[in-house]
Structure 1
Amino acid sequence: MAEHVLVAPDKFKGSLTAAQVAARVAAGLGVPAVELPVADGGDGTVDAAEACGFERVELEVTGPTGAPVTAAYAWRAATPEGDRPTAVVELAEAAGLRRLPGGPEPLTATSHGVGELIADAVRRGAGRVVLGLGGSACTDGGAGMVQALGARLLDESGAELERGGAALRKLARIDLSGFADLRGIEFVVASDVDNPLLGPHGAAAVYGPQKGATPGDVTLLDAALGRLAAVATQTHGLLGAVEHDGTPRPMGVAGAPGAGAAGGVGFAALAFLHADIRPGIDYLLDLLGFDERVKGARLVVTGEGSLDEQSLRGKAPVGVAQAAARAGVPVVAVCGRRTLSDEQLAEAGIEAAYALTDLEPDLGRCMAEAGPLLERLAAVIAAERRLT
């Protein structure tokens, strides 16, 4: 007999972390509940992993502007079942838009701190590194990340390039003689972005404007990323890369789906870390133990701050709903606001959605009072679903 409710929400951005959302919903339901905060690889991924039993590791790294920031990754030691030591590295912790002290720096922001987090995890003995991509402030093709791991990106005179994507237009050579020894380490990119590195659907064109890039900046950055891809292909044979089923990748790594994620960090992860790119929410649900927690549940409550068209493109609530459907458990969602119709929700596997704006139409008050309002929503769910 089903006994508990599984509460598996993402964060309410600007209001509550995923763990805080889960706690408030569980409190309001008034019935036995299992809390499983989730994330899709973007902001809040480390917090979600920590809430599920991972250890939080903090260190000072290089932020997107070059100034130091304190960032964290999540760590889980080897398990008795034989799972290897695992680090969950969230790009936004070191190189996210939220790490910018002032305005955006589209031409010079760096992913260097991400590489420093990876290097620390490798020193700890990681056998697997999960890299969550989202909320990036940089469009540097992952150049900073690989520099932090020991690569040297050199111009015609042999001088090291300065930080940022724009500098890549001067790239002449990549020296990997001092690159970290990553043999035997599994790298997984958790991301639902399928953009290539270059062109009208690439990292600069699609995401550059969100990071402050002007049309002229976009043109410059796309050319600079093209230079990175060309030099890497020429010097390291990346054009001959193959898919995991052994078929050739005719456009090389730069044309691979996901290479444009996080300003091109996806490209560097593929090219230099030999990473697999997995659907963000699906992979993280597996890592966080969703299938085990959903056993015996009579309902799953998921959610995020805004249930809208973007939610349908691989965001956490839809991923949770799909995973719950495989277990035969119904799903409802909580959110700050919703723009999806009942039909769209049903197609996504969500039976009903409960928004804070249903209780409080003022958006400012919804954000300021999200916790108490969530408890009230949860009580409504419990009553309508006859949980008590």
Structure 2
Amino acid sequence: MTRVVFAPDSFKGTIAAADAARVLAEAWASVDPGVSPVLRPMADGGEGTVAAFAAAVPGARRMPITVDGPAGHPVDTAWLLLPASDDAPDGTAVIDMASTSGIELLDELRPWDADSRGFGQAIAAALDHGVSRLVLGIGSSASTDGGTGMLRALGARFLDARGAETAPGARGLGDIASADLSALRPAPEVRVLTDVTNPLTGARGAAAVFGPQKGLTDPSDQQQTDAALERLARLLALDPAVPGSGAAGGVGAALIAWGGTLLPGAAEVAHLIGLADAIAAADAVVTGEGAYDGQSGDGKVPSFVASLAAASGVDAVLVAGLIAPDADLAPFTASASLTEVAGSPASALADTHRWLHEAGRRLALAMRGSGPASGS
């Protein structure tokens, strides 16, 4: 019996990691009915982080909650409670920014007013439950608020020169004259998952690099926000040059100030779901993401999964929505691009489930030696 681990990331905006793993496993079984599939959907701290843990950890429980979304409107979401363990006797909470304060929760970009309050509200709910540890994924954020919304939900206050609360989002950053952290809730063990190493400020900082993705497109607005983040860092006694502090519009910095530890997202998710052990006991592992290019080798899910496979002498197989010409495919025994299998990017996006299934079927044939993985 062939044992295959399915450990894709989400194909952003089209199919979640857990669904992608299921579709690929079904496709593989259509070619090899005797396959023993092991589903380990992956994430790197962004979209799908909660779902990845929910699929991989027995006994995980979704805890429904309503939070203020990035535009202030109610969002029905959930955090995930992992069972108690020796190092987390009261359980671990997994919370992702994508489902609480994420950019995909916005109907339109709100560069000045979107904030991270909902993420903080979910954290507060987990603390109220009494968990021993927080695992926080901070990808796919909607705001550049320096994490002030999140910290406010945890008890902090950010005041202007007259002692009044400043406006939420990037709009109020420049008015902050003092930070009152006296009522800030104490942090348990906090593991922060991110694949971003950018500092808080400067040419590679939150406003300059990620601001435009959130609608902060005017260079003068970026400079203004960057200066405000610099002042916020001083108030939080934080070095703005710390790698990763610019993640999620500065939420990385706020979590460092709260006592959190920033960790490479893919590696930490893999550790917590036992991916290395699953791969070591398998004959092959199938991984993937929406677009695989020359930068995907820098800590992204497929390259990290391939490194685990190489360490155990296991074949790694890649499927991606698009495989760029500069992509390094050397770590993979076989690969397939949905764009090529479907015939065009538009077709691949229009029916991702169908073409993912077809790509998985072709890869299974290629691994059995029954045919080429055309479309690779």
TM-score normalised according to structure 2 size: 0.91
Partner of 2:343: 361
Q: Does 2:214 align with 1:211? A: yes
2:22 partner SS: helix
Q: Is the 8 A contact 2:11 2:290 kept in 1?
A: yes
Partner of 1:13: 12
Partner of 2:374: none
Partner of 1:345: 329
Stretch moving more, 354-363 or 131-140: 354-363
What are the equivalent positions in structure 2 for 1:56-205 lying under 5 Å apart?
56-79=62-85, 83-84=88-89, 85-101=91-107, 103-182=108-187, 185-205=188-208
Partner of 2:273: 288
1:48 partner SS: helix
The whole-number CA distance in structure 2 between the counterparts of 1:216 and 1:70 is 36
* Superposition deviation, residue 341 in structure 1: 4.8
Q: Is the 8 A contact 2:335 2:363 kept in 1?
A: no
The whole-number CA distance in structure 2 between the counterparts of 1:217 and 1:350 is 43
Q: Is the 8 A contact 2:294 2:326 kept in 1?
A: no
Partner of 2:320: 335
The whole-number CA distance in structure 2 between the counterparts of 1:104 and 1:370 is 26
Partner of 1:246: none
- 1:82/1:192 Cα in 2 relative to 1: closer, same or farther (>3 Å)? closer
Give runs of ≥4 in structure 1 deviating > 4 Å. none
Partner of 2:230: 226
- CA displacement 1:284-316 (0-9 Å, x = unmatched): 011111022223211111011211234223211
Partner of 1:373: 355
1:180 partner SS: coil
Stretch moving more, 376-385 or 28-37: 376-385
Q: Is the 8 A contact 1:360 1:366 kept in 2?
A: yes
The whole-number CA distance in structure 1 between the counterparts of 2:169 and 2:28 is 48
* Superposition deviation, residue 382 in structure 1: 2.0
Q: Is the 8 A contact 1:133 1:191 kept in 2?
A: yes
Q: Is the 8 A contact 2:6 2:286 kept in 1?
A: yes
The whole-number CA distance in structure 2 between the counterparts of 1:285 and 1:58 is 25
- CA displacement 1:58-115 (0-9 Å, x = unmatched): 2111111222212222211203x554411111111111111113x2111221111111
Partner of 2:302: 317
* Superposition deviation, residue 387 in structure 1: 7.6
Q: Which amino acid aligns with 1:377?
A: A
Q: Which amino acid aligns with 1:316?
A: V
- 1:68/1:362 Cα in 2 relative to 1: closer, same or farther (>3 Å)? same
Q: Is the 8 A contact 1:307 1:340 kept in 2?
A: no
1:113 partner SS: helix
- CA displacement 1:215-266 (0-9 Å, x = unmatched): 1220111111112112222xxxx4xxxxxxxxxxxxx2x2110000000000
- 1:194/1:341 Cα in 2 relative to 1: closer, same or farther (>3 Å)? closer
What are the equivalent positions in structure 2 for 1:269-284 lying under 5 Å apart?
269-272=255-258, 274-284=259-269
TM-score normalised according to structure 1 size: 0.89
The whole-number CA distance in structure 2 between the counterparts of 1:300 and 1:134 is 25
The whole-number CA distance in structure 2 between the counterparts of 1:332 and 1:339 is 16
1:147 partner SS: helix
**What is the root-mean-square deviation in Å for CA atoms of aligned residues?**
1.7
2:296 partner SS: helix
Stretch moving more, 355-364 or 18-27: 355-364
1:218 partner SS: helix
1:255 partner SS: coil
Gaps of 5+ in 2: 30-34, 371-376
- 1:295/1:144 Cα in 2 relative to 1: closer, same or farther (>3 Å)? same
Q: Is the 8 A contact 1:165 1:225 kept in 2?
A: no
Q: Which amino acid aligns with 2:292?
A: L
Partner of 2:32: none
**How many residue pairs were aligned?**
361
